[in-house]
Amino acid sequence: MATNDEHPASLVLAVSTVIFALRPSTRTGKMSLHIPVVRRIREPYEGLWALPGGPLGMQEDLGESARRHLLSTTHLDPTYLEQLYAFGDRDRSRTNGIARGDRVVSIVYWALVRSGPGAVEYSGIVRPADEVVPGDDNVVWIDADELPELAFDHTEIVAYALWRLRTKLEYSRIAHSFLGEMFTLAQLREVHEAVLRRELDPANFRRMIEATGSVEPTGTLLQGTPHRPPKLYRYVENPAESTPGQTPHPTPATKERS
Amino acid sequence: MATNDEHPASLVLAVSTVIFALRPSTRTGKMSLHIPVVRRIREPYEGLWALPGGPLGMQEDLGESARRHLLSTTHLDPTYLEQLYAFGDRDRSRTNGIARGDRVVSIVYWALVRSGPGAVEYSGIVRPADEVVPGDDNVVWIDADELPELAFDHTEIVAYALWRLRTKLEYSRIAHSFLGEMFTLAQLREVHEAVLRRELDPANFRRMIEATGSVEPTGTLLQGTPHRPPKLYRYVENPAESTPGQTPHPTPATKERS
DNA sequence: GCAAAAGTGTTATTCTTACACCCATGA
DNA sequence: TCATGGGTGTAAGAATAACACTTTTGC
């Protein structure tokens, strides 16, 4: 077997992102979490799929770097972006004890982007989330729960990001980031159901959401449905009249857009 | 005003740690959270207090690096160690727009160490947690809720670590990390009360702890108390008979040392 | 016996959860 | 009018919290 004493010459600091969007599963047809992966065109792990990312620019913040790589590979602007973890163990790019290139410390972010019927406004142009770079089949969206073999330790990274998203969805109010400016409670519930992979009681879901004070009715109704038109809601940033004992948690650098 | 266009020449990757111990407050006498800080002996921020840390070694994992710096400054071995956040914004070592040295990306950990009457076993020698390096007054333990001015962005980092510890204590089972191998429920409750800064009902606390299945009676009693001798408990790693639906959360690289 | 902490029991309250039921619309 | 999802009501069960009470020791 290969020796463990090979010393990488240099240390590279990279930023990668696990980008989540909701798309219909090609197997079941139900909405499920998908992530974009990029085909590696050089060693190590040439040919395998990897998370979008790249080296940190000297003049950019960590979150900026994540957003830049995200934009360049998916042409999307994230509605939610949060740091996940810094992966930097000495042998994380080794396979069977064989060193694969320089030592890389990856600061990984996770992001949510809009998808499906609710389209994305990006630099004035409305783009659907499933539009990949034209003519570029080096980026594909895959079901986050049915991953192929990924490069480096990216399989574990995605598993951790999935766990984080699912955990956070239950105590936080981030589901709206998958949707557009206005949405019905049924759409919001559909997001929760797709992420958590279980059905939720519509009545209790409504009360749970209303209790958080995270949404407010816009006053308009969604027309064109086959049945009773549902109210349209919008997300409210700071629910002032909510529970007084709420934690103003000093989470660093968590950014939301619209 | 200073220009924002100064380009740092190089990028340094460092590892720092917020180390928590419980010690009696010099003001109130009650147990409260304390952290060790190191006096900076060079620019930038010379003379100010800073978190223990230093550059990442090419041959060590991130957690290893945190543990190494922790040991060299406090002579303690942490009973709990977890990554907190990677701080790497471009201007995090600027003051009033003035650049202070090279750009540093800090991967920050937080740790718990034993203290007080429960001493620490380290390389066979029992040391109390309040023993600093002999003759070294460049390390002091300060109350985490009464910080002086710290170097860099370390004030915000400590605030975030404090929030993280207090949040995690309520849904996790880490309080025992402040104590020795065996402890009474009153001691465990004292830890919770000191960290959360509020009194807890002994009866409900007992039931809450028992419900988690995280401790078990050792069969021995603590003698020498002025009143009824309490049972001594020990921490159990994997409460197998606990709730079946527990999440096997894939948190990366969280290490505990009994 | 008395004081004080260890430990148990009991009840009120709030939070979930399940599900029955009414409402409003298109076809 | 009927089918269907939107939306409201209600009650059982579980988790939380407050506190009375019994137990066991040192003094």
Per-residue pLDDT, B212 = 94
CA distances from A133 to A164, B29, B93, B181 (A): 28, 63, 38, 58
Contact by Cβ (8 Å): B62, B253: yes
Separation CA A32–CA A25 (nearest Å): 6
Of A227-236, B24-33, B105-114, B233-242, the range with the lowest mean pLDDT is B233-242
3-state secondary structure of B121: strand
User: What pLDDT, in 10s, does the model give residues B73-116?
Assistant: 999 999 999 999 999 999 887 777 676 778 999 999 999 999 74
Q: What are the mean pLDDT values of chain A's consecutive 10-residue runs (258 residues total)?
A: 57 97 91 96 92 96 98 95 96 74 93 67 37 64 96 97 97 96 96 97 97 94 90 86 48 63
Minimal Cα–Cα distance from B196 to chain A, Å? 13
Per-residue pLDDT, A225 = 84
Per-residue pLDDT, A252 = 73
Residue A90: which of B11, B60, B90 has the nearest Cβ? B60
Per-residue pLDDT, A201 = 97
Work out the angle between the directed axes of helices A185-196 and A154-171 (0-180°, nearest 10).
Answer: 140
Q: What angle do CA A194, A191, B170 make, to 5 degrees?
A: 90
Per-residue pLDDT, B245 = 39
| Mean pLDDT (chain B, rounded) | 85
Instruction: Report residue B237's pLDDT band, with 50, 70 and 90 as the boundaries.
Output: confident
Q: In strand D, which positions have an atom below 7 A from any protein CB? A: 3-10, 16-20, 23-27
| Cβ contact, residue pair A59, B163, below 8 Å | no
pLDDT at B252 over 90: no
| Cβ contact, residue pair B86, A103, below 8 Å | no
Separation CA B83–CA B111 (nearest Å): 9
Per-residue pLDDT, A10 = 86
Q: What is the DSSP secondary-structure string of chain A? A: ---S-PPPS-EEEEEEEEEEEEEE-TTT-SEEEEEEEEE--SSSSTTSEE-SEEEPPTTS-HHHHHHHHHHHHH----SEEEEEEEE--TTTT-BTTB--SSEEEEEEEEEE---TTS-EEETTEEE-TT---TT-TTEEEEETTS---BSTTHHHHHHHHHHHHHHHHHHS--GGGGS-SEE-HHHHHHHHHHHHTS---HHHHHHHHHHHT-EEEEEEE--S-SSSPPEEEEE-S--TTS-TT------TT-EE--
Q: Which nucleotide is nearest to B226 (CA to C1')?
A: D26
**Minimum CA–CA partner of B103 in chain A:** A58
Strand blocks (E) in chain B: 11-24, 31-39, 49-50, 53-55, 80-87, 103-112, 120-122, 125-127, 139-143, 182-183, 215-221, 231-235, 255-256
Per-residue pLDDT, A122 = 32
- CA of B251 and C1' of D19: distance in angstroms? 39
Contact by Cβ (8 Å): A206, A185: yes
Residue B107: which of A56, A59, A86 has the nearest Cβ? A86
Minimal Cα–Cα distance from B9 to chain A, Å? 9
